[in-house]
Amino acid sequence: MTAFWTEPDYDDHEMVHVVRDRASGLTAIIAVHSTHLGPGAGGTRFWHYPEPKDGLRDALRLSRGMSYKNAMAGLPLGGGKAVILADAERTKTPEMLAAFGDAVDGLGGRYVTAEDVGISEADMVAVSKRTAHVSGLPVDGNGSAGGDPGPFTAYGIYLGIKAAVRHKLGADSVKDVHVALQGTGSVGGGVARLLAKDGARLTLADIHADGVRALGDELGANVVSPEAIMTTSCDVFSPNALGAILDDASIAALDTRIVAGGANNQLARAHHGKALFERGILYAPDYVINAGGIISVAAEYLARREGKPASVEDVRERIEKIPARLEEVWQASDRDGTAPDIVADAMAQALIGRG
């Protein structure tokens, strides 16, 4: 058997911790890719993987992704991720969450957890009874940052779209710029509202037909079917639903100058960033443009450790640096003839001391 740490996904993780708790039935993997900039921070996913090795691969890829995202957001945090391997019925018990909290605590702060797919705010509250290394907890709403990261992510995407329009189209405003949005949930809906205020022309699509129609009426936006959105002729295509949507066929069919949206892992495979570049479509690397949520979550965690509320102004200030970071990526891309996703990865690697 080849050692699993020689697999490409392992990518020099500092630590991969396997947790088995017989009493509660918990099986979890906690992967810490890098603590170069601070504790490895990233959420916990609760998922049933028919093959446990897929859970390990998810933890490794997501944890490296968090290293890059946190570094490019200028946060004093490294990257980590946990995966709880659920059974086919997705049984989740208080005992399991307690055992998971103990495991996180046992790492002494090298890993800081939060919500991800399958884990709710209430679950994180349960975990927080056993360890202080938790974020994404409810906030009191008195002007403190934290809580639902969606609106913060949306604000960063909106600023990133404006930066892309400036860079690619030479326009200082998004007035009359046509943006096609795929997904109008927490993030996409927020982006649509911010763009509408600035007079952008919007086309929306979502598989929740009633919700998207209501948003379309509210904003005076055109609504098309989910099948039509990726071939809509527009200035900006903004993916805010699923990952892995940019593949050979969809990239060939895009009718846009810019791709800039919040969905995680938009490129189906590594070479698809180059495919966009070769088509002359400006791409905003997903983990750079969608960092608003983690910036808020991180502020909540770091402030709580100092015993004070996180300030929304500080969070907004940090999010407002996303356009400059994107511009840095695009300028290097233009200068070197390298696709923006490759440039961003190289910058992130340098920031975590692996340049």
Site of interaction with ligand NAD (CB under 6 A): 149-150, 153, 182-188, 205-208, 226, 240-243, 262-264, 290, 293
**Would strands 201-205 and 178-182 be described as parallel, antiparallel, or unpaired?**
parallel
The minimum distance between CB 158 and ligand NAD, in angstroms, equals: 13
Residue among 81, 168, 197, 274 flagged as catalytic: 81
On the 0-12 / 13-18 / 19+ scale of CB atoms within 10 A, 102 is middle
106 vs 226 by CB, closer to ligand NAD: 226
31 vs 223 by CB, closer to ligand NAD: 223
106 vs 151 by CB, closer to ligand NAD: 151
Q: Is 81 a catalytic residue?
A: yes
The minimum distance between CB 263 and ligand NAD, in angstroms, equals: 4
The minimum distance between CB 266 and ligand NAD, in angstroms, equals: 8
Give the Cα separation of 246 and 248 in Å (integer). 7
The minimum distance between CB 21 and ligand NAD, in angstroms, equals: 28
Q: Which residue is nearest to ligand NAD (CB)?
A: 185
83 vs 98 by CB, closer to ligand NAD: 83
99 vs 223 by CB, closer to ligand NAD: 223
Contact between residue 93 and residue 62 where contact means Cβ atoms under 8 Å apart: no
Positive/negative CA dihedral, 252, 255, 259, 260: negative
The minimum distance between CB 264 and ligand NAD, in angstroms, equals: 4
* Catalytic residue annotation: 81
